[in-house]
Structure 1
């Protein structure tokens, strides 16, 4: 048990990253049913009908605690307030000012989870009264910052004091969970690993790309955000599998911003399903993913792997009390 599992009354210290458009209701329900905390990926919530449909699937699919995640820079406060009527155990906020959402979240009784990518964001999350902080390293897929996971997580833990911290970024198996706990975290937030599950909202081609790809095949840049004209704040770049398009425009972002024809052509190719325009957000943990695993099973597998990893650590570094007891036998 950890402070995170105690807070939500769940079995395993594992949460689903609320990946916009990919972490739908079926995936979130499966993670919760497996003993973790499933978080629906509402993202910017620009499609309220999609959010409502996925919430219906989620609430019909589990009676265990679940939550939902939003991007502060784009989510409509009114829609966030409506989702709170569905009774989430937690709301996760990331990327931007949380102030417009805090009152409604607190009034609903939901726990506030805030994701941070640097020290300044960590201080703001603590000031906002976050119940849980997610320390996301640059290894993570999708949008994020520039801090390395292994150095950033313990820094956030030290700042957070009694507030539980989840580690995120490049973690894809139980060894990563055990490492996160050793760094002082109370659990992990997994994204890319759960993308490789049948419940994720992924095309077969994207699933295959995840299984075939390596961590070194990913890169963090703003090229895809510029091409999509998404409005993402430039301070948070996105990590995805490289493509001919990202190779073409790497280090030429200003030229892409000035070329509307190139942006339109990319989006048209994406809509046609052109593999060279496929966007697969993924983190550096890809090397550890070789098969599609049902999400509920994956939660248990990661937890068991972590237990084995922790046992190895205990054998390698027995406590003074353990050594004293062994000598006295």
Structure 2
């Protein structure tokens, strides 16, 4: 049984699996591996730094002739950045964390599919008004920056609101059962992030990958301390889920105090430059419980798709055979 959805039809792909465009993780090699395996790979370009994009888009184009795309942070870009991304010829551009309206027309006029990630119903309505081709309903179980809604009730809410516009589920999905659940909720597929960090193609260090494989959901927390320590301009309404570390434990609930402590901020920056994971963030969602080792992105895409098909068929058999 092939999982055919509005998403797979829209992009001509085999599986309703989309790589989350994780900054510093999802480069051209990982994106092309996901696309070549039948999903949709997205490069995580964040603010659209041009030299980095030149390199990573070149790697993606060299790695596959199948569709791939680029993700941008709305709050961190301007129209010139968006036009620069358009020139690189992606099949999809994903906008997240802000109002997509200023950039939607340029993307759609270029014949590029517009994906918009949303974290609440107001954002979903705004994205639909802007003409989004696909909405991504992101729950707070996600790794990295996120909103405040749980995935399970949020996805069907966005599906009902979106009508004919396809919706992807994101947040806490790491295996075929999660994809099957997303499809059952009415989504056209899943955007998966943390699970793809634990692949050979991801742009993370060996120590970060090891930390993700060994972690449990209870080791993650949502915080703003790391954005404050990094001097990041991330909007305060979007906390970030990361693995806990001693620096976070020390400053938990004391974010305002941290912002004014120049000694602590310099201590953090010095340690982060050394990639000391007692300080530096390891972006990870609650699905880390389901990650038991590193594997290739291609194997992962195939296994998630296969296991989702099996989960759907097993559920149908189990429900059909249940006594009345």
- Secondary structure of the corresponding residue to residue 133 of structure 1: strand
The corresponding residue for 2:77 is: 75
The corresponding residue for 1:200 is: 202
The corresponding residue for 1:39 is: 42
Q: How many angstroms apart in 1 are the aligned matches of 2:170 and 2:99? A: 20
The corresponding residue for 1:4 is: 7
- Secondary structure of the corresponding residue to residue 320 of structure 2: coil
Could you say what the CA RMSD is over the residues aligned between the two structures, in angstroms?
1.4
Gaps of 5+ in 1: 324-329
Alpha-carbon shift at residue 102 of structure 1 (Å): 1.5
Range 8-17 or range 68-77, more displaced: 68-77
**Contact 2:104 / 2:131 at 8 angstroms: preserved in 1?**
no
Residues 278-326 of structure 1: per-residue CA shift (max 9 Å, x gap): 310000000000111110111110000001100111112239xxx9xxx
**Contact 2:137 / 2:167 at 8 angstroms: preserved in 1?**
yes
The corresponding residue for 2:271 is: 269
2:98 maps to which of 86, 96, 99: 96
Alpha-carbon shift at residue 52 of structure 1 (Å): 1.3
**Contact 1:20 / 1:44 at 8 angstroms: preserved in 2?**
no
The corresponding residue for 1:326 is: none
- Secondary structure of the corresponding residue to residue 270 of structure 1: helix
Once the two structures are superposed, the pairs formed by residues 224-235 of structure 1 within 5 Å of their partners are 224-235=226-237
Aligned pair 1:143/2:133, yes or no?
Answer: no
Gaps of 5+ in 2: none
Range 101-110 or range 61-70, more displaced: 101-110
Q: How many angstroms apart in 1 are the aligned matches of 2:314 and 2:23? A: 36
Q: How many angstroms apart in 2 are the aligned matches of 1:163 and 1:288? A: 30
Q: How many angstroms apart in 2 are the aligned matches of 1:42 and 1:285? A: 23
TM-score where L is the length of structure 1? 0.95
Q: How many angstroms apart in 1 are the aligned matches of 2:145 and 2:262? A: 23
**Contact 2:99 / 2:127 at 8 angstroms: preserved in 1?**
no
Range 25-34 or range 290-299, more displaced: 290-299
Range 190-199 or range 92-101, more displaced: 92-101
Once the two structures are superposed, the pairs formed by residues 117-128 of structure 1 within 5 Å of their partners are 117-128=119-130
Aligned length: 320
Aligned pair 1:13/2:46, yes or no?
Answer: no
- Secondary structure of the corresponding residue to residue 73 of structure 1: helix
The corresponding residue for 1:327 is: none
1:26 maps to which of 13, 25, 29: 29
Q: How many angstroms apart in 1 are the aligned matches of 2:9 and 2:250? A: 48
**Contact 1:172 / 1:285 at 8 angstroms: preserved in 2?**
yes
- Secondary structure of the corresponding residue to residue 278 of structure 2: helix
- Secondary structure of the corresponding residue to residue 75 of structure 2: coil
